[in-house]
Amino acid sequence: MAEAEEKVVKSSEESTDDSEEDESEDEPKLKYERLSNGVTDILQQDAASCMTVHEKFLALGTHSGKVYLLDIQGNVTQKFEISTVKINQISLDESGEHVGICCEDGKVQVFGLYSREGFHEIFDCPIKIVAVHPQFGKSSCKQFVTGGNKLLLYERTWLNRWKTFVLHEGEGNITNIKWRGNLIAWANNMGVKILDIITKQRITNVPRDDTSLRPDMYPCSLCWKDNLTLIIGWGNSVKICSVKERHASEIRDLPSRYVEIVSQFDEEFYISGLAPLSDQLVILFYVKEVSEKAGKVCCARPRLDIIQPLPESYEEISSDALTVRGFQENECRDYRLEYAEGESLFYIISPRDIVMAKERDQDDHIDWLLEKKKYEEALMAAEISQKTIKRHKVLDIGLSYISHLVENGDCELAARKCQKILGKNMKLWEDEVYRFKKIGQLKAISQYLPRGDLRLRPAIYEMILDEFLKSDYEGFSTLIREWPGDLYNNMTIVQAVLDHLKKDPQNRTLLKTLAELYTYDQRYDRALEIYLTLRHKDVFQLIHKHNLFSSIRDKIVLLMEFDAEKAVDMLLDNEDKISTEKVVEELENRPELQHLYLHKLFKRDHHKGQRFHEKQISLYAEYDRPNLLPFLRDSTHCPLEKALEICQQRNFVEETVFLLSRMGNSRRALQMIMEELHNVDKAIEFAKEQDDAELWEDLILYSIDKPPFITGLLNNIGTHVDPILLIHRIKEGMEIPNLRDSLVKILQDYNLQILLREGCKKILVSDSLSLLKKMHRTQMRGVLVDDESICESCLSPILPSDASKPFSVTVFHCRHMFHKECLPVPSMMSPLQFCNICSAKHRVPGSAILEMKK
């Protein structure tokens, strides 16, 4: 059981003992407050016997026979002296304008609070209960019921007289009545009955479970959850009853309605009152316990529980022990639970105290979270409902959270929360920075400081940078890299770094950071010097970004030594800023770097560095022979004599052969291949490339006494030279390796050539015949000659305007038309006529295909 500490206005006579209440980790569902002001004065001299709650006011009855009307704060607005004995019940209609009061001396009064109409009667027995019609203000609803030893209905007639009906009797005293709509529920010694006031029919009887309990000491508690749901609490038993309509076929002599008990369960303690709360129940319990000191049963503090009813059991939602004044002397019948319809507002009435309970709102929830130091949850709750909370501010909760984290030593989390909590409040930001400085935790907050549109004073950032510079070079470098350069005074920080470099001149971290500071300050030349000294990868990015090509003219060697590939690419991409001549000049003493630059230049464009091609021959020969031959092949500006001289000096046979062939000395080139390379395949390939009969002859003469060369020639010569020329020159008796295979290959190649020729011939004949047929079909087609056709010679209409006159027209295959008289007379040597236009344009001439005469 969770016991919640009540929040009440304390007076000198209050007997609340807070020390008895244990703290709980479960948040209470309700909050409590004593009803004070006028109520305090009343209960000092009198004792409360009953109370009724209306949405506008409260009506309190006392043991001395007085009735007080109170406002919601407990201030007395009106007082009625009804009797000298205990007020048993006060009943209000829904409008709050009519009240019914009954007393222990049998007196009953029903009157209007704002009118003179009323009913006054004194019975010969105590009247325990009275209930006025909920719509008593209406003329058709002037009814009320009283409960003593009978249940009496009073109804005003049209003559303003009151007529009495006995609704029930003979089962003991009536102890409770609840009227809702057209249904009246009452409890007597035997159980609970429900009556339909319209039909005057009793719907049901719910018997009392525990008959051992005295009804006057443990009275029945009733409340309507809605117009058709009655909740009964008696002893420790709870029943929830639902009034339902009976099916027409089942009515017969039965009432039109019946009651079904939808939920029933027993509680641990005795019920003093109950009230609905949405789909849950609020129950006031009278509790007895065994005193450890006296060893006897005594009255304990009453409990107010919220439960979730189930069909045969319940689930406890919350349970609070209430410290009310004089609870040690109270009995079960001394407690009452009243509630305001439509509001989550409950009143616990005891003779010496009235406590108001209400559902906790978001402010109360946040109070509890803060009390339990659950700042994260409190902050989240305040952010979600910041439009509805009244007593808390998100910022105040956030600041308390930061303070809590700092006090507990969790500075990293506190710094991270600053970003969200402090937002754009620069004053609060600076206060927090100084607090972190005071506890030596500036590093923790550094990465979360504002650095966008809203910024702190430069001195704040400089203070943090100085803290890092004293103890953490890497952290200092990170901040300089991440923070915009205009957050602080750049010159101040540069000077501070220079002072530290005097103690440690080779510190790479400080040098790199200094270069970044120089970059922010647009002193790019100094930054570039440091980057080159450090061989830093960002040097090329710095040059490109800030166009520092004029500053690197004398630093090309340094750049090439750092990263030759990147340096060459950058120089070639920016030839307009640093010329090729300047680069070659700077690299004069570093020929290997000079070669790398010129090689990439040549790859990009064979003509750009033509003036350096002669130099490149030596560079390729020295540093990159594999690319020398491709260079010689692709270059058209290379001096061949110089190249030949260098290749011959270094005995580069392949390159020399290429140069000799390019200079026209093919025989010498072939001779080098055969004598120095001894590579018959290469010699044959060279002869094929040159396609010179004399070279083939030289190759045959050189190979005739070398069997391996003869084999190579026999295998490859067939398609270029007649193999018979070679075979006839072979000496008799010479052993030639793989001669048979070579001869077979020659024959196969010959047969293949014959087959290819025959196949080509067939294809040619077939295509010729097909084209001839196509041409014939085309020439056999007619040609349209109409009035729009003109003579291509005289440009007049080809057909005469007078169709009766004779005419003669010639039409050629090319679709050109002429008058017969406009064509030249054919000669005796060539009787065929040709189109003058097509003949003049060197087209294939065609003979006339049609002559038209009339």
* Ramachandran bin of 807, using left for φ above 0, alpha for ψ from -120 to 50, beta for the remaining angles: beta
**What pLDDT is stored for residue 579 in this prediction?**
86
Q: How far is CA 740 from CA 382, 700, 714, in A?
A: 103, 19, 10
Closest to 186 measured CA to CA, from 157, 155, 156, 215: 215
Q: What is the DSSP letter of 300?
A: -
Q: How far is CA 722 from CA 691, 703, 719, 729, 752, in A?
A: 14, 16, 8, 12, 15
Residues 365, 345, 34, CA angle at the centre, nearest 5°? 80
Check if the beta carbon of residue 476 is closer than 8 Å to that of residue 466.
no
**In a 3-state reduction of DSSP, which class is residue 686?**
helix
Q: How long is the chain? A: 854
Q: What is the strand order of the sheet 303-309 is part of? A: 270-277, 280-286, 303-309, 314-321
**In a 3-state reduction of DSSP, which class is residue 337?**
strand
pLDDT, averaged per 10 consecutive residues of the chain (854 residues), comes to 39 37 69 91 94 94 95 93 93 93 93 83 88 90 91 87 89 92 93 91 90 90 94 94 86 84 93 93 92 77 94 91 91 93 90 93 90 90 88 89 89 89 89 89 87 86 88 87 86 87 84 81 77 75 75 79 82 84 86 88 84 86 86 84 84 79 75 71 71 67 66 62 63 67 70 83 91 85 85 88 82 86 76 77 51 54
Closest to 284 measured CA to CA, from 339, 328, 360: 339
**What pLDDT is stored for residue 484 in this prediction?**
86
Q: Taking the alpha carbons of 77, 83, 88, 93 in that order, is the dihedral positive or negative?
A: negative
DSSP-assigned states of every residue in 43-93: HHHS-EEEEEE-SS-EEEEETTSEEEEE-TTS-EEEEEE--SS-EEEEEE-
